[in-house]
Amino acid sequence: MRLPRTGEEIGEALAARWRWLVCRVRFHPLTTRGLPRVLATIADYGRLMRLDRPIGAYLLLWPTLWALWISAEGRPQAKVFAIFVAGVWLMRSAGCVINDYADRGFDPHVARTRDRPLAAGRVSALEALVLFAVLALSALTLALRLDRLALLLASAGGFLAITYPFIKRFLSVPQLYLGLSFGWGIPMAFAAQTGRVPRVAWLMFVANLLWVTVYDTLYAMVDREDDLKIGVRSTAILFGDSDRSVIAVLQAMTLLALALLGRLAGLGPWYYGGVGAAAGFFVYQLWLIRSREPAACFRAFLNNNYVGLCVFVGVLLDYQFR
């Protein structure tokens, strides 16, 4: 066979080769049958990690950022900041995977969760466990870059995250246990930045524990009817007809704890302005749940993203304009 010599012949040869390659890819069995299946599986893994619903990561991220900024007096270390932000997303994703694994027998009976990948049978239990292991090991790799105290606290936080989906079946107040898990990044952040966990860190932890109980009760109110049928426990069920009143009290206690936090940390008007804005969103949430309509309760739950944001912006501006 004569090899192409001129530029025009070389161009024609390359074009012919490209057409042949495109034709092979277009009609290859992997492309026509396997690739869509692979892409669908990847999408289900993303849904299993709740990448399509980042609200949980935001609610976990805001108190972690409060702690990073206050512990470092407005100047967190770049390495510590990167580790904690990445760790939030990894641990939240791992928590969602192990939660769906634990709930795989309940989720098919709840309207809101029956289409989740595990509940619908699109992802197997083994696949979920492997995915959880990958995410947890990735988070551990990040934690190994922290000092000894922060690493010890990270181990305790990992235990809380892993056990929550199973322990919540035996507790009438699983929202409190979730609060322990979701707030554990606070003492970790102080330990990573300062090498210790002072009183202000534990006060922030308590404030966040109260806040988590608020918004996870709102979340539980969405599924209350289904949960009653299948025997799942929650504070929404425990509080009963007093749910709105108890939520209002918990919101007031959260704001009080945040106010005391500002005083102990020496924060000023910008911070208290952020807390005041958060109070406004709390009032709006109480208005949303006035009739306990599930969709409105879910909107109230989502609204808590702005509560965390307002407090963080207050902290950020307070240190910025000193």
- Please report whether residue 175 resides in a domain: yes
DSSP state of 33: I
Taking the C-alpha atoms of residue 238 and residue 33, their distance in angstroms, rounded to an integer, is: 50
Residue of 50, 49, 95, 103 whose CA lies nearest to 233: 103
The mean-pLDDT minimum among 17-26, 158-167, 288-297 falls in 17-26
Residue of 101, 215, 214 whose CA lies nearest to 164: 101
- Please report whether residue 169 resides in a domain: yes
Q: Tens digits of per-residue pLDDT, 30-65? A: 444 554 566 667 788 888 888 888 898 999 999 999
Q: Tens digits of per-residue pLDDT, 246-290? A: 999 999 999 999 999 999 999 999 999 999 999 999 999 999 999
Mention every residue, 6+ apart, whose C-beta is less than 8 A from residue 240: none
Mean pLDDT for the chain?
85
Residue 113 backbone dihedrals phi, psi, to 5 degrees: -115, -5
Domains contained in the chain, number: 1
- Please report whether residue 10 resides in a domain: no
DSSP state of 16: H
- Please report whether residue 17 resides in a domain: no
- Please report whether residue 37 resides in a domain: no
- Please report whether residue 290 resides in a domain: yes
The DSSP H or E segment spanning 158 is: helix 148-167
In order of 55, 65, 116, 300, 318, the CA distances from 315 in angstroms are 21, 9, 37, 24, 5
Please report, for the domain that includes residue 314, its CATH number. Answer: 1.10.357.140
- Please report whether residue 30 resides in a domain: no
The DSSP H or E segment spanning 99 is: helix 78-102
Residue at token pair 């009183």: 199
Residue of 247, 226, 251, 249 whose CA lies nearest to 235: 247
| Domain extent for 127 | 49-320
Taking the C-alpha atoms of residue 64 and residue 161, their distance in angstroms, rounded to an integer, is: 15
Q: Tens digits of per-residue pLDDT, 208-260? A: 999 999 999 999 898 888 777 777 788 888 888 899 999 999 999 999 999 99
Mention every residue, 6+ apart, whose C-beta is less than 8 A from residue 235: 172, 173, 174, 175, 176, 213, 216, 217, 220, 243, 246
Q: Are 230 and 110 in contact (CB under 8 A)?
A: yes
